């Protein structure tokens, strides 16, 4: 059987992965808080753990892998967004239901467009409130949590390994962190398991009054319910390592001292844009949906993500996206009529080395070059179909060259910039002369050729559509 090696944040080492039960390999990944579109950074853990999910399914069999990724649908940020959009006197709860429902679907659509398989289970936090209450009750009973002014807090001093994952001591944390100092906390690092809710906000009856859960307990309760007290892999972005994952460990290990919670912790590094942190104030913030709308095929976005190893910071650049698109066009053309064949052992062993996706892409490049050489050499004719099939199968293993994603590749390449300038100038002239016949002639010829014409004051944009036929543009310029 293939040996998979994974870097474990807990031990800071790359280790041979040995599942607790090879008949049911279990993975939990922290999912999104649903109140807005997923930004490009949010796609990184989705794609990284999608590749791992595919690899685990390949090695252990699809029916032997359980992948859980939650939706956080109760959160202060959701409440704040709903209050903002519904306005004074509106029904906040109804607005919350609308926002979480809509953005959950957006998330699934956008991640589907990036070729991510759906996890085995996608629990929503609000469906597991009972389990959270039960877990919190147990923590209080065992002296790991206490009630104060309608809140329930986890006592970090009650868990001796608190801080082990991120390698900090409680004293360091207090010195370095901007912690919320609340008078009811015994230790400034104690964190909220349950908090009171006002009547107009979502709340559930509990032994500590009407309230709602803290964020960390949600993941602990859902992971326990769906995967048990010990499971194999827990993943997320490295921004979640502290405090979120540290708190998950504290809660789960104290609630279920016999279990080990997650054996392997995996963290992806952050995404940047053109060398800078992506942020609204720098004007380089965008969502996955923005990019898809701009015409980037999901597959091109996915390729760019795969080209950087998950434990390295990743830079999204236009140049990389253009390069990815060129490569994918070549590979698609080369495998057009092929049936997927065998995924090579080399390819699988590359991915099994702590998900070396960038090296796996290099392997695809090599396979493509081998195919090209064979196509040019009559002596190698017999090998061509097999090489094509293997390239297709290996690319598909990574979620690329999917038939479903293929519509975009059908459009032949064409440089329409000359026609854009020509149409823009024709329109400027027409505004002066009041004679629009040349503009109309160009426009109808373009539409006839399957090109969408977008005109604004700033300029003209020509977008080839699905039925684009460049032959019909000949002689127009
Ligand atoms: P959030 O919506 O901030 O809770 O993030 C959801 C997921 O996206 C978490 O796993 C984060 O670690 C991850 N994430 C957020 N921002 C980035 C980023 N810039 N690069 C990579 N992953 C990110
Ligand atoms: Zn979580």
* 72 alpha carbon – ligand 2 mean position (Å): 9
Query: Using CA positions, which residue lies closest to atom 21 of ligand 1?
Result: 270
Cβ 280 vs Cβ 286: under 8 Å: no
Predicted confidence at residue 131, as pLDDT, reads 98
CATH number of domain containing 352: 1.10.730.10
Cα–chain-centroid distance for residue 51? 11
Query: Using CA positions, which residue lies closest to atom 17 of ligand 1?
Result: 41
pLDDT band, very low/low/confident/very high, at 392 (cuts 50, 70, 90): very high
CB-CB neighbours of 431 under 10 Å: 11
**Looking at the structure, do residues 309 and 227 belong to the same domain, yes or no?**
no
- Residue 4 in any domain: the answer is no
**Looking at the structure, do residues 322 and 428 belong to the same domain, yes or no?**
no
Tokens of 231: 């499971």
- Residue 46 in any domain: the answer is yes
pLDDT in tens, 300-351: 999 999 999 999 999 999 999 989 988 998 999 899 889 999 998 999 999 9
How close are the terminal C-alpha atoms of the chain, in Å? 60
Q: Is a pLDDT exceeding 70 seen at residue 467?
A: no
How far is 396 from 343, CA to CA, in rounded Å?
Answer: 9
**Looking at the structure, do residues 316 and 241 belong to the same domain, yes or no?**
no
* 235 alpha carbon – ligand 1 mean position (Å): 11
- Residue 66 in any domain: the answer is yes
CB-CB neighbours of 470 under 10 Å: 16
**Looking at the structure, do residues 290 and 264 belong to the same domain, yes or no?**
no
- Name the more confident of 250 and 175: 250
**Looking at the structure, do residues 31 and 91 belong to the same domain, yes or no?**
yes
- Residue 3 in any domain: the answer is no
Closest ligand relative to 70 C-alpha: 2
- Residue 151 in any domain: the answer is yes
Q: Is a pLDDT exceeding 60 seen at residue 298?
A: yes
**Looking at the structure, do residues 57 and 206 belong to the same domain, yes or no?**
yes
**Looking at the structure, do residues 235 and 102 belong to the same domain, yes or no?**
yes
Closest ligand relative to 251 C-alpha: 2
Q: Is 45 in the pocket of ligand 1 (CB under 6 A)?
A: yes
How far is 27 from 256, CA to CA, in rounded Å?
Answer: 18
**Looking at the structure, do residues 228 and 172 belong to the same domain, yes or no?**
yes
pLDDT in tens, 159-214: 999 999 999 888 888 877 666 678 889 999 999 999 999 999 999 999 999 999 99
Q: Which atom of ligand 1 is nearest to the CA of 240?
A: 12
- Name the more confident of 418 and 226: 226
Q: In which residue are the tokens 């701009």 written?
A: 294
- Residue 337 in any domain: the answer is yes
- Residue 5 in any domain: the answer is no
How far is 464 from 477, CA to CA, in rounded Å?
Answer: 16
Percent of the chain having pLDDT more than 70? 96
How far is 367 from 386, CA to CA, in rounded Å?
Answer: 11
Spatial CA neighbour of 187 closest among 162, 217, 210 = 162
pLDDT band, very low/low/confident/very high, at 473 (cuts 50, 70, 90): confident
pLDDT in tens, 203-248: 999 999 999 999 999 999 999 999 999 999 999 999 999 999 999 9
**Looking at the structure, do residues 361 and 433 belong to the same domain, yes or no?**
no
Give the residue from 374, 406, 438 where a domain finishes.
406
Could you tell which of 33, 42, 216, 311 is best to mutate to test the pocket of ligand 1, judged by most ligand atoms within 8 Å of the CB?
42
Q: Is 173 in the pocket of ligand 1 (CB under 6 A)?
A: no
**What is the number of domains present in the chain?**
3
- Residue 364: phi and psi, rounded to 5, are -65, -40
3-state secondary structure of 97: helix
Q: What is the mean pLDDT of the chain?
A: 93
Give the residue from 249, 268, 287 where a domain finishes.
268
How far is 371 from 391, CA to CA, in rounded Å?
Answer: 9
Predicted confidence at residue 469, as pLDDT, reads 77
Query: Using CA positions, which residue lies closest to atom 14 of ligand 1?
Result: 42
Indicate the Cα dihedral angle 198, 201, 202, 206, nearest 10°.
0
Query: Using CA positions, which residue lies closest to atom 16 of ligand 1?
Result: 41
Predicted confidence at residue 108, as pLDDT, reads 97
Query: CA 65, 217, 35 angle in degrees (round to 5)?
Result: 85
**Looking at the structure, do residues 114 and 261 belong to the same domain, yes or no?**
yes
Give the residue from 233, 268, 303 where a domain finishes.
268
469: containing domain:
417-473
**Looking at the structure, do residues 70 and 42 belong to the same domain, yes or no?**
yes
What is the DSSP annotation of 187-253? STT-EEEEEE--TTS--B--TT-SEEE-HHHHHHHHHHHHH-SEEEEEEEEGGGIIIIIHHHHHHHH
- Residue 432 in any domain: the answer is yes
**Looking at the structure, do residues 322 and 370 belong to the same domain, yes or no?**
yes
3-state SS of 337-391? Answer: CCCCCCCCHHHHHHHHECCCHHHHHHHHHHHHHHHHHHHHCHHHHHHHHHHHHHH
How far is 276 from 114, CA to CA, in rounded Å?
Answer: 23
Q: Which of 160-164, 294-298, 397-401 has the lowest mean pLDDT?
A: 294-298
Cα–chain-centroid distance for residue 134? 31
């Amino acid at each position: 059987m293939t040996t998979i090696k994974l870097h474990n944040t807990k031990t800071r080492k790359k280790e041979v992965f040995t599942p607790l039960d090879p008949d049911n390999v279990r993975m939990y990944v922290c999912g999104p808080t649903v109140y807005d579109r997923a930004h490009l950074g949010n796609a990184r853990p989705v794609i990284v753990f999608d590749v791992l999910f595919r690899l685990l399914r390949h090695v252990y069999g699809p029916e032997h892998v359980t992948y859980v990724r939650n939706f956080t649908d109760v959160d202060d940020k959701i409440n704040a967004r709903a209050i903002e959009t519904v306005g004074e006197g509106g029904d906040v709860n109804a607005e919350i239901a609308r926002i979480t429902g809509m953005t959950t679907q957006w998330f699934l659509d956008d991640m589907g467009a990036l070729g991510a398989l759906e996890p085995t289970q996608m629990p929503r936090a609000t469906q597991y409130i009972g389990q959270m209450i039960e877990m919190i009750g147990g923590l209080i009973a065992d002296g790991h949590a206490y009630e104060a002014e309608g809140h329930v807090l986890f006592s970090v001093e009650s868990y001796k390994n608190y801080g082990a994952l991120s390698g900090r001591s409680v004293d360091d944390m207090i010195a370095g962190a901007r912690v919320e100092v609340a008078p009811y906390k015994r230790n400034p690092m104690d964190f909220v398991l349950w908090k009171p809710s006002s009547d107009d906000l979502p709340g559930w009856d509990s032994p500590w009054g009407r309230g709602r859960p803290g964020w960390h307990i949600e993941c602990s309760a859902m992971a326990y319910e769906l995967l048990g007290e010990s499971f194999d892999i827990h993943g997320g972005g490295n921004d979640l390592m502290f405090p979120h994952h540290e708190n998950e460990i504290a809660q789960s290990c104290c609630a279920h001292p016999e279990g080990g919670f997650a054996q392997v912790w995996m963290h992806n590094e952050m995404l940047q844009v053109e060398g800078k942190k992506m942020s609204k104030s720098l004007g380089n913030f965008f969502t996955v949906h923005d990019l898809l709308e701009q015409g980037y095929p999901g597959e091109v976005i996915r390729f760019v993500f795969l080209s950087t190893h998950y434990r390295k910071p990743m830079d999204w650049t236009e140049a990389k996206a253009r390069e990815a698109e060129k490569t994918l066009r070549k590979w698609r053309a080369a495998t057009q009529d092929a049936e997927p064949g065998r995924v090579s052992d080399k390819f699988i062993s590359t991915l099994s080395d702590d998900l070396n996706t960038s090296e796996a892409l290099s392997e695809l490049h090599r396979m493509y070059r081998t195919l090209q050489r064979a196509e040019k050499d009559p002596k190698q004719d017999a090998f061509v179909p097999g090489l094509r099939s293997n390239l297709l199968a290996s690319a598909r293993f990574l979620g690329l060259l999917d038939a479903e994603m293929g519509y975009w590749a059908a459009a032949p390449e064409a440089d329409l910039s000359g026609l854009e300038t020509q149409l823009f100038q024709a329109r400027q002239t027409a505004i002066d002369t009041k004679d629009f016949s040349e503009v109309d002639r160009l426009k109808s010829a373009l539409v006839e050729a399957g090109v969408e014409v977008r005109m604004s004051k700033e300029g003209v944009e020509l977008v080839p559509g699905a039925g684009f036929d460049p032959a019909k543009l000949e002689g127009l310029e």
